[in-house]
Structure 1
Amino acid sequence: MRRLAEFIHDIAWDQLPERVRETAALRVLDLVSVAAGAAKDPLVEAAKEALGTVSGCRMEMPPVAQPGFVSVWGDTRKYPLATAAMLNAMLAHTLELDDVHTASKTHGSASLIPAAWSCAEYLGKSGKDFLLAVVCGYETVNRVGMAFGVSAHRNRGWHATATCGVFGCAAACAKLLDLSVDQIVSALGMAGTQSSGVWAFLGDGSNCKILHPARAAADGIEAAFLAKAGMTGPEHIFDAKDGGLLYAMSDGGDVSKLSQGLGEVYEILNMDMKPYPCCRSAHCAIDGILEIREQMEARMGLKIRNMSEAEILADQIQAIGIDTYLVGYKQCAVSDGCLHPKTILDAKFSTPYSVAAAFLCGTVGMEQFEPEVVFDPVVQKLLEKVTVHPADRFTEQYPKHWGCHVKVTMQDGTVYEAEVEDPSGSVARPLSREQAMKKAEEFLSVVCPGRETETIEELLNLESRNMLPSI
Structure 2
Amino acid sequence: MADRINEGLSRFIAQLKYEDIPVEVTTHLKNILLDSYGCGLFGSTTPWMKIYKDVLLKMSDRQEASVWGTNVKTSVTSAMMLNGSAINSFELDDTHTDGIIHVSTGVLGCITAFAETLGTVSGKDFLTAAVLAFEVACRVAAPIGMELAHQGFNNTGTCCPFGSAAGVGKMLGLSKDQMIHAMGITGNWSSGLQAVQFASMAKRIVPSKSSEGAIIGCLLAKEGFTGIEDVFENKFGGFYNCFTDDIYNVERTAGELGERWELLGIGLKFYSTCRSKHSTIDTLRRFKQEHPEINPDDVKKIRVGTTSITHKYSVNADAITSVVAAQLSHPYVCAVTMLEGNAFVDQFNEEKIRDQRILEYAKKVEVYPDEEIENLPRNLRYTVKVQIELNDGRVFNLRTEYPKGHPLNPFTEEELLWKFDSLAGKVFDCADRRKKIVDAVMHLEDLDNVKVLTNLLRKEA
TM-score by length of structure 2 reads 0.93
Match of 1:447 among 412, 415, 427: 427
Match of 2:207 among 193, 200, 213: 213
What is the letter of the counterpart of residue 42 of structure 2?
Answer: G
Whole-Å separation in 2 of the counterparts to 1:259 and 1:339: 44
Q: How does 1:33-432 map to 2 (within 5 A)?
A: 33-54=38-59, 56-57=60-61, 65=63, 69-124=64-119, 125-147=121-143, 149-202=144-197, 205-256=199-250, 257-297=252-292, 300=293, 313-333=295-315, 336=316, 339-401=318-380, 402-432=382-412
Give secondary structure in 1 for the equivalent of 2:232. Answer: coil
Deviation at 1:132, TM superposition (A): 0.6
Contact (CA 8 Å) 2:165, 2:182: kept in 1 or not?
yes
Deviation at 1:339, TM superposition (A): 4.8
Give secondary structure in 2 for the equivalent of 1:439. Answer: helix
Note if 1:9 corresponds to 2:5: no
Whole-Å separation in 1 of the counterparts to 2:234 and 2:249: 11
What is the letter of the counterpart of residue 369 of structure 1?
Answer: F
Percent identity between the two aligned chains: 28
Give secondary structure in 1 for the equivalent of 2:396. Answer: strand
Deviation at 1:396, TM superposition (A): 1.5
Larger CA deviation: 421-430 vs 254-263: 254-263
Give the structure 2 partner of residue 465 of structure 1: 447
Give secondary structure in 1 for the equivalent of 2:385. Answer: strand
Deviation at 1:314, TM superposition (A): 2.9
What is the letter of the counterpart of residue 467 of structure 1?
Answer: N
Whole-Å separation in 1 of the counterparts to 2:367 and 2:118: 49
Give secondary structure in 2 for the equivalent of 1:419. Answer: strand
Contact (CA 8 Å) 1:100, 1:273: kept in 2 or not?
yes
Deviation at 1:72, TM superposition (A): 1.3
* 1:148-200 superposed Cα distances (whole Å, 9 cap, x missing partner): x1221110001111100111111110011000111111111112111100111
Larger CA deviation: 347-356 vs 364-373: 364-373
Give the structure 1 partner of residue 3 of structure 2: none
Contact (CA 8 Å) 1:314, 1:382: kept in 2 or not?
no
What is the letter of the counterpart of residue 72 of structure 1?
Answer: V
Give the structure 2 partner of residue 309 of structure 1: none
Give secondary structure in 2 for the equivalent of 1:179. Answer: coil
Contact (CA 8 Å) 2:161, 2:213: kept in 1 or not?
yes
What is the letter of the counterpart of residue 434 of structure 1?
Answer: E
Whole-Å separation in 2 of the counterparts to 1:36 and 1:427: 24
Deviation at 1:254, TM superposition (A): 1.9
What is the letter of the counterpart of residue 318 of structure 1?
Answer: K
Deviation at 1:373, TM superposition (A): 2.2
Whole-Å separation in 1 of the counterparts to 2:68 and 2:377: 35
Whole-Å separation in 2 of the counterparts to 1:314 and 1:134: 45
Whole-Å separation in 1 of the counterparts to 2:288 and 2:31: 32
Contact (CA 8 Å) 2:278, 2:404: kept in 1 or not?
yes
Contact (CA 8 Å) 1:273, 1:425: kept in 2 or not?
yes
Deviation at 1:25, TM superposition (A): 1.9
In structure 1, list runs of 5 or more residues that go unmatched.
59-64, 303-312
Give secondary structure in 2 for the equivalent of 1:75. Answer: coil
Whole-Å separation in 1 of the counterparts to 2:437 and 2:248: 41
What is the letter of the counterpart of residue 115 of structure 1?
Answer: C
Deviation at 1:316, TM superposition (A): 2.6
Whole-Å separation in 2 of the counterparts to 1:25 and 1:339: 40
What is the letter of the counterpart of residue 331 of structure 2?
Answer: P
What is the letter of the counterpart of residue 353 of structure 2?
Answer: V
Deviation at 1:398, TM superposition (A): 5.0
Give the structure 2 partner of residue 310 of structure 1: none
Output the aligned Cα RMSD: 1.5
Whole-Å separation in 2 of the counterparts to 1:332 and 1:322: 11
User: Compared with structure 1, are the counterparts of its residues 325 and 398 closer, same or farther at alpha carbon in structure 2 (3 Å cutoff)?
Assistant: farther
Whole-Å separation in 2 of the counterparts to 1:314 and 1:438: 27
Give secondary structure in 2 for the equivalent of 1:242. Answer: coil
* 1:343-364 superposed Cα distances (whole Å, 9 cap, x missing partner): 1010010111101100111111
* 1:405-440 superposed Cα distances (whole Å, 9 cap, x missing partner): 001111111112210111111111111111001111
Give the structure 1 partner of residue 29 of structure 2: 24
Larger CA deviation: 257-266 vs 86-95: 257-266
Whole-Å separation in 1 of the counterparts to 2:278 and 2:81: 27
TM-score by length of structure 1 reads 0.91
Give secondary structure in 2 for the equivalent of 1:400. Answer: helix
* 1:13-49 superposed Cα distances (whole Å, 9 cap, x missing partner): 0111112122222221111111001222221122122
In structure 2, list runs of 5 or more residues that go unmatched.
1-5
Whole-Å separation in 2 of the counterparts to 1:206 and 1:372: 18
Whole-Å separation in 1 of the counterparts to 2:443 and 2:237: 43
Whole-Å separation in 2 of the counterparts to 1:235 and 1:394: 39
* 1:126-147 superposed Cα distances (whole Å, 9 cap, x missing partner): 1111111110011111011024
What is the letter of the counterpart of residue 341 of structure 1?
Answer: I
